[in-house]
Amino acid sequence: MKSWILAGITGLFTAGAALAQSHGVPPAFLKNTRRMEGDRLSVCADVSGRTLAFDRRVAQLIADSLFLEMDFHEGFGGYPTSGDGFLDELQIALTNNCDMVVGMTVQENSPFPEWATLTRPYVSLPYMMMVKGDYARLGDIPRDLKLGTALGSMGERVMITWNQQQPKSARFTRFPYADMQLMAQRVLDGSIAGGLIWAPAWAQLVAEHPEASVLRAVPMAPVPETVTRIGALVKTRDTFLRVQIDEAIDALVADGSIAALLDEFNWQGTPGDDSRAR
């Protein structure tokens, strides 16, 4: 387990009720305790997360709005494809060391067990199509031209589903890319007419590779709009904290703090839950 997960905690008392345990975590790894410190918010995040810097800033805003000092910890180091090992580490972290884990994808059907619950999203980040030609949306691209997609992404899955539902003559030929810079180069040299990319990846690409600034990001329409909603994970037993965090997120969305962060990071996106904003 990562070292920060096993870090000591001060000011503890034994909780009366036993904690819910996943089948893979030995009870010896879980501390049946609650912290008594009322002036600090311990926040954890995946060090490999693409939104890590943004998540940390949001966590600081949440802590500030709750008049709490924030302790920020980076760990995990990436999500395993099976998910089992990550869930075990996540349960240990939330039980022993973390009040909340930021940078989590918020879905309608939560994949997390009963010991964890998601907050409401603090930002919704879309997938877009980067193009060089004079196209206003993906649907303007002729079907005989090829497209690239971000390999394994939610946007790619939606694109594949939509494409398969079209008549054969109306389908795009698609090439998956794991390297966003390479996909951008292929758009620039005309090998593909567009590349499907997530908003944070697009902003990073333009910032790190000036040659990509000649490209534009346009909507995916008529492919259904695809966004990743980002929020935080807390322990199910921490009902009061969950309510306080949700109210803090609402306030940060309402007063423009999240929108200001989006502008600072040069990300296209919607503060909070984009479906609530419509």
| Predicted local distance difference test score (pLDDT) of residue 179 | 95
Does the residue 214 lie in any domain?
Answer: yes
Tell me: do 45 and 119 sit in the same domain: yes
Is 278 a member of any domain? no
Q: Is residue 13 part of a domain?
A: no
pLDDT in tens, 41-52: 999 998 888 899
β-bridge partners, 227: 126
Q: Which two tokens mark 43?
A: 């926040």
Asked which of 15-19, 20-24, 114-118, 208-212 is least confident by mean pLDDT, the reply is 15-19
HSE (CB half, 13 Å, CA atoms) of 201?
24
Q: What is the pLDDT of residues 219-238, one digit of tens each?
A: 999 999 999 999 999 999 88
Kindly state whether residue 170 falls inside one of the protein's structural domains: yes
CA angle 82, 29, 3 (to 5 degrees): 75
Helix, strand, coil percentages (3-state) for the chain, rounded to 5, are 35, 25, 40
Please name the residue that has the structure tokens 């990319």.
Answer: 197
Q: What is the CATH number of the domain that holds 179?
A: 3.40.190.10
Range of the domain at 105: 39-124+228-271
154 domain residue, yes or no: yes
Q: Which of 197, 218, 239 is the last residue of a domain?
A: 218
The number of distinct structural domains making up the chain is 2
Give the pLDDT confidence score for residue 116 in this predicted structure: 87
Helix H segments across the chain?
Answer: 52-65, 84-96, 154-164, 180-188, 199-208, 239-254, 257-265, 274-277
